[in-house]
Amino acid sequence: MSMKILVGCKRVIDYAVKIRVRPDKMGVVTEGVKHSMNPFDEIAVEEAIRMKEAKKASEVIAVRCYSTIQQETLRTALAMGADRAIHVEVPAKDCENLGPAQVSKVLAALARREGASLVLLGKQAIDDDSNATAQMTAAHLDWPQATYASKVSSCDGKLTVTREVDGGLETVEVSLPAVVSADLRLNEPRYATLPNIMKAKKKKLDKLSLGDVGVELRQHLAVVAVSDPPTRQAGVTVDSVDSLIEALRHAGRI
């Protein structure tokens, strides 16, 4: 099967960093803060590479849509085993408006342009937790979607995907081409190896503009405010079950 897989890679603040709200309360501090590839995207990259190693796919293309800051996210994907990378460059001032609505358009355009049969994304990014890009991409392409994948197997132009849903596990079958979003237990991403980090240097990294993929960015959302969660309040000790019920009623909890 000569299937081409497109994998989306988002650069997010590293999961281990303590997030701080910006003084202007319009976002979080990103300057000088450690960033890395969105963990769910790493899982997607790993799955794509495994499919290629199992000869279910012929090429894995890692893509990223952002301004031209460090390329290390795409280089990481290449070092893990992606064949080549595409960076869709967005002017720095427009990056604040890049959300699932915009990125999904770019991914859909790229999937068509590259002739991909599978778009593999992380289920959500750990910064905005939108959980919408995969779904919107499928809609733009009019392709079937299988989200929250914890297991993917491919056979004869179809994918059997086990999805982790609130009620348990659901198994669906989708025909290719399709969009799949990776959940936590899909796989454990490999470490890049030193030889692969060095080889990644030589792999192709194409830069495209929004014009090249025929996408126009329009702002659909405006951030009103970003604030810290409320600090934990001290509790109150109650002396009986009745006072507990009364206190809960008073707080509007029951």
Partner 1 sequence: MQVVSKAVRRLASFRSRLMSSVASIDPSAGLTDEQLATQELATRFAHNEMLPHMAQWDQKEEFPLSTLRAAAQLGFGAIYCKEDYGGSGLTRLDASIIFEALSLGCVSTTAYLSIHNMCAWMLDTYGSEELKARYLPDLATMEKCASYCLTEPGSGSDAASLSTTAVKNGDYYSITGSKAFISGAGESEVYLIMCRTGQPGPKGISCILVPKETPGVTFGAKERKVGWNSQPTRIVHLESAVVPVANRLGEEGEGFSIAMSGLNGGRINIASCSVGAAQASLDAVIEYTKTRKQFGSPIAAFQHTQFEIAEMAAELLASRLLVRNAAVALDTKHPDTVVLCAAAKLYATRNCLQVIDRALQLHGGYGYLKDYPVQQYLRDCRVHTILEGTNEVMRVIMARHLMAS
Q: Name the site residues for partner 1 (rule: CB under 8 A).
A: 36, 70-72, 75-76, 79, 191-195, 197-198, 200-201
Nearer to partner 1, 67 or 70 (CB): 70
Count of helix runs (H) and strand runs (E) in the chain: 6, 11
How are beta strands 4-8 and 118-122 bridged, if at all?
Answer: parallel
The DSSP secondary structure of 20-50, one letter per residue, reads -B-TTSSSB--TT--EEE-HHHHHHHHHHHH
CB 195, min distance to partner 1, A: 6
Nearer to partner 1, 234 or 241 (CB): 234
Nearer to partner 1, 185 or 201 (CB): 201
CB 192, min distance to partner 1, A: 6
Are the C-beta atoms of residues 74 and 85 closer than 8 Å to each other? yes
Angle between helices 100-114 and 133-141 (to 10 degrees): 50
Residue type, 89: E
CB 32, min distance to partner 1, A: 8
CB 39, min distance to partner 1, A: 12
Nearer to partner 1, 113 or 199 (CB): 199
CB 56, min distance to partner 1, A: 24
Nearer to partner 1, 21 or 197 (CB): 197
**Token digits of residue 225:** 């405010």
- From residue 237, how far is each of 20, 95, 243, 244, 246 by CA, in Å? 32, 49, 10, 9, 13
